[in-house]
Amino acid sequence: MAKREEVVRQLTNAFWMEFETVVNYVSISIDLDGVRAEEIKKALAADVTVEISHAQFLAKRIKELGGRVPGSMEFKPSQKYLQPPETTTDVVSVIEGVIKAEECAVAQYNKIIKMCDGIDYVTQDLCIRLLADEEGHRTEFMGYLKEYKR
């Protein structure tokens, strides 16, 4: 039983990470300025729906495992690295923040995947699918960063 409770706790952490990313992606995709920011803004706006779907999948799995899906009063933000920049044309800090957020998500999903190995294949499969999305997002933004680091 403690194993299931820990899986639910880690799924809940991932759930909050996804929602916090959504909030930050929405803010940044509106707040950035400049010609060079347009592609980043579009990519972030498109990723919002993907991240929301991740949160929904996680919430459903939390419920299936007997957990309780938390409400907003339980939210504690942690993404200091992914805030709208003071200078609204600072595209590099945004790209680096997105990469960091994706790396954190990758680490969280890898943690859950290992935790569930041989025990909970449904949760493991879900996290493998979400991991693939996060790795894809990270690679996309690492590609954007190459343009700025030439």
In whole angstroms, give the CA distance from residue 129 to residue 122.
11
Where does the pLDDT of residue 1 fall: very low under 50, low under 70, confident under 90, or very high at 90 and above? very low
In whole angstroms, give the CA distance from residue 110 to residue 116.
10
Listed by start position, the domains of the chain span 2-69+82-148
pLDDT in tens, 77-130: 999 999 999 999 999 999 999 999 999 999 999 999 999 999 999 999 999 999
In whole angstroms, give the CA distance from residue 125 to residue 118.
11
Where does the pLDDT of residue 149 fall: very low under 50, low under 70, confident under 90, or very high at 90 and above? confident
The CATH architecture of the domain made up of 2-69+82-148 is Up-down Bundle (1.20)
Q: What angle do CA 86, 90, 29 make, to 5 degrees?
A: 85
The whole-model pTM stands at 0.95
